[in-house]
Amino acid sequence: MATRAEFLERIRREARRTDGLFTAATATRPARPEEAAEAVRRQMAERWPEALDLFRREFDRVGGVFHRAADPAEVPSVVLEIAREEGATAVVAWDPPVLGLDLRPRLVAEGLAVAVAASDPADETARRRHREESARAQIGVTGADLVLAETGTLILLSGRGRPRSTSLLPDTHVAVFDRSRLVESLAQVGILLEALHVDPARSMSGAMINFITGPSRTADIELTLTRGVHGPKHVHAIFVAAP
């Protein structure tokens, strides 16, 4: 195996042999990402209704199902409705403080099993139990850190109380969001990602960011579009009007 120094020196040696290359530039990054992100948020504080309309159209196009809840208190009823429609008996959800609401009182009263991601990550047994509960659940309920209108995409950061698999293992994924999460364009997402990485230790407690655009899909057998290969077959988004 080459050492890092040898490996990179070979690349530098080859680069010195090049000539007549055309002038090229990488994309221009925001000089002060956090200020640029603040500007995006200010813009979206005005423009969120248009973004929400666009998101609904695009989310529908990629196979998502949109719901509206008047306030956080109404969300458990919407989840319950989805659970009944799909004959689900077990739900897994992000930790209630992270999600901004607790599904348990309402859903447990209706006979559903609800697991939440509140266990201590250092506890091996608790981790294994959470994984089993996630694998068993038919519905996974998460928040959404950004909601990208132009492509109908939900963007989720993993971390404390927000496991990666809640939006992956169950057959149905339900994401809950409010107006503050809406952005219009991928370019804006670029700015917000730059801002998140200025001080990632402060802004993110996890190692993964997922962009989710509709259900899991494949066309690998005779190009027939089929849903739910490995990830969810159904994706729902609940917009909470009054946060």
Partner 1 sequence: MSEGLLNVPFSERAGAALGDRFLQEALTIATTKFIDLRKDSFAGFPEGDALRDQARSIKEATLQKLDVYLGQLADNVERLGGRVHWATTGEEARETILQLCRDRGVRMAVKSKSMATEEIELNEALEKAGVTPVETDLGEYIIQLAHEKPSHIIAPAIHKTKGQVADLISEVAGRRLAADPEVLTAAARVQLREKFLQAEMGITGANFAVAETGTVVLVTNEGNGRMVTSLPRIHVAVMGIEKVIPSMTDLVVFLAILARSATGQKLSSYTTLVRGPRQPGELEGPEEFHLILMDNGRSRQIAGTLREALYCLRCGACLNVCPVYRQIGGHAYGHTYPGPIGILLTAMLRGDESVKELAHASSLCGACKDVCPVRIDIPRMLIELRERLDRQKIAPWAERFAFGTLRRVLLSPAAFRLSSALGRVLQRPFLNNGRLTGLPLVLSRWTRTRDLPPVASRTFRERWKDLQ
Touching partner 1, residues 116-135 (CB under 8 A): 117, 119, 121-122, 127, 130-131, 135
Q: Is 13 left (phi over 0), alpha (psi -120 to 50) or beta?
A: alpha
Task: Give dist(CA 73, CA 83) in Å, integer.
Answer: 17
Distances (CA, A) of 221 to 4, 92, 188, 224, 230: 43, 31, 36, 6, 15
| Min dist. Cβ of residue 90 to partner 1 (A) | 16
Q: Does 34 bind partner 1 (CB under 8 A)?
A: no
Task: Give dist(CA 3, CA 62) in Å, integer.
Answer: 46
Looking at the Cβ atoms of 70 and 207, the one nearer to partner 1 is 207
Q: State the residue for tokens 């009007």.
A: 241
Q: What is the DSSP code string of 24-65? A: --PPPPPSSHHHHHHHHHHHHHHHHHHHHHHHHHHHHHTT-E
Q: Does 210 bind partner 1 (CB under 8 A)?
A: yes
| CB 12 within 8 Å of CB 109 | no
Q: Pick the binder of partner 1 from 186, 203, 242, 243 (CB under 8 A).
A: 186
| Min dist. Cβ of residue 162 to partner 1 (A) | 9
Task: Give dist(CA 1, CA 120) in Å, integer.
Answer: 40
| Min dist. Cβ of residue 135 to partner 1 (A) | 7
Element housing 165 (H / E)? none
Q: Under rule CB under 8 A, which residues in 153-182 are in contact with partner 1?
A: 153, 158-161, 163-165, 168
Looking at the Cβ atoms of 157 and 238, the one nearer to partner 1 is 157
Q: Does 193 bind partner 1 (CB under 8 A)?
A: yes
Encoded amino acid at 121, one letter: P
- Alpha carbon of residue 23 to chain centroid: 37
Q: Does 40 bind partner 1 (CB under 8 A)?
A: no
Could you tell me which stretch among 85-93, 101-109, 174-182, 197-205 binds partner 1 (CB under 8 A)? 197-205
Q: Does 203 bind partner 1 (CB under 8 A)?
A: no
| Min dist. Cβ of residue 108 to partner 1 (A) | 21
| Min dist. Cβ of residue 202 to partner 1 (A) | 13
Task: Give dist(CA 41, CA 26) in Å, integer.
Answer: 25
Could you tell me which stretch among 39-47, 83-91, 137-145, 206-214 binds partner 1 (CB under 8 A)? 206-214
Q: State the residue for tokens 């293992």.
A: 169
| Min dist. Cβ of residue 97 to partner 1 (A) | 13
Q: Pick the binder of partner 1 from 108, 109, 229, 242 (CB under 8 A).
A: 229
Q: Does 21 bind partner 1 (CB under 8 A)?
A: yes
